[in-house]
Amino acid sequence: MGTEPRQGDLNEGGDGDAPFVADYLLFLLASTSAAASAEFHAVVRAEGLRVREWRVLACLHDEDGQMTTRLAELALMEQSRLTRIIDQMHTSGLVERRSDAEDRRRVRVFLTERGAAVAANMIEKARAHEAALIARLPGASGETLKRLLKRVHAELVDGE
Touching DNA, residues 48-67 (CB under 7 A): 50, 52, 67
If one asks whether residue 85 binds DNA (CB under 7 A), the answer comes out as yes
CA distance 2 to 29: 31
Q: Which stretch binds a second copy (CB under 8 A): 81-89, 91-99, 129-137?
A: 129-137
CB atoms within 10 A of CB 44: 20
Residue 80 interacting with DNA (CB under 7 A): yes
The verdict on 107 binding DNA (CB under 7 A) reads: yes
Which of 43, 50, 52, 58 lies at the binding interface for a second copy (CB under 8 A)?
58
- Residue 98 sits at φ, ψ, to 5 deg, of -140, 130
CB of 128 to DNA, least distance (A): 23
Residue number with CB closer to DNA (26 or 134): 26
Of 1 and 26, nearer to DNA (C-beta) is 1
Q: How far is the CB of 90 from a second copy (least distance, A)?
A: 20
* 151: partner contacted, choices a second copy, DNA, none (Cβ within 5-8 A by kind): a second copy
60 close to 95: Cβ distance less than 8 angstroms: yes
Of residues 74, 70, 53, 71, the one with CA closest to residue 119: 53
Question: Binding partner of residue 118 among a second copy, DNA, none, CB under 5 to 8 Å per kind?
Answer: none
Annotate 113-147 with DSSP letters as a single string: HHHHHHHHHHHHHHHHHHHHHHHTSSTTHHHHHHH
CB of 110 to DNA, least distance (A): 12
Task: Name the DSSP class of 81.
Answer: H
Distance CA 4, CA 2 (A): 5
